Amino acid sequence: MAIKHYLALDIPDTAVPTVLRIVDASVYGQGLPIECPRLDIYLPGFQEPIFISEGLTPGFSKNISGIDLGLQHPQSETLIGLPDGLYKIRYSISPNEKVFVEYYHLRTTKIINSYAAELCRLQLEKCEPTAELHKKLHDLRYIKLYLDGAKAKAEQCHAPAQAIDMMTYAEKLLSKYHSGCCISCGTPYTRSCNCH
């Protein structure tokens, strides 16, 4: 039996571009009050948070949209995609200045969906890939490693500036790959290059 509140959140990655999912993973002290729950969400590039207090009963699972974050009108017929980038998310209960937990979350939904689309374009078979396909696979693995590293830097190492730099570099590499060029030398895959 917990004698105090141990606040925790789970912020899973999602392939849905219109939703930021936040799940309460807290262990609440039995018999202790749970009052004034609040999420403070700092969007990428913003200095002031968006406050959310509705629907935060213990064990909550919130799908937060652009409407919830004030990025679009509540009467909108379709939801906008939320931006990739560094989010800072704080969860607190009363007294909110003392009982809180705070996380960095590097949202990579858009770029991961683009990465997956590139994988779908590859003609993979159950045999040794051609030299061109091998180069493409190598480049995609390299890009994915940078994305994984960026998330680790933000969420585990608490190095947000480095995380953003790595994610920006991965986006640049994926753009180069999408144009049909080797990410190391810029040579089109259909020509020979000695990078790999």
With 0-12 / 13-18 / 19 or more C-beta atoms within 10 angstroms meaning exposed / middle / buried, residue 191 is exposed
- Give me the mean pLDDT over the 11-16 stretch: 96
Calpha distance 170→45 (Å, rounded): 19
Measured CA distances, 83 to 19, 86, 109 (Å): 10, 9, 8
Calpha distance 10→8 (Å, rounded): 7
Calpha distance 48→190 (Å, rounded): 48
Q: Which of 43, 73, 44 is nearest to 52 (CA)?
A: 43
Q: What are the φ/ψ torsions at residue 174 (nearest 5 degrees)?
A: -65, -35
**DSSP collapsed to 3 states, 76-97:** CCCCCCCCCEEEEEEEEECCCC
User: Per-residue pLDDT tens for 135-151?
Assistant: 899 999 999 999 999 99
How does residue 194 score in pLDDT terms, banded at 50, 70 and 90? low
Please report the domains of the chain, with CATH numbers, ordered by start residue: 9-107 (2.60.40), 109-178 (no CATH)
User: Per-residue pLDDT tens for 67-122?
Assistant: 999 999 999 899 999 999 999 999 999 999 999 999 999 999 999 999 999 999 99
- Give me the mean pLDDT over the 173-188 stretch: 85
Query: What is the length of the chain?
Result: 196
- Please give the single-letter amino acid code of residue 181: C
User: Per-residue pLDDT tens for 148-162?
Assistant: 999 999 999 999 999
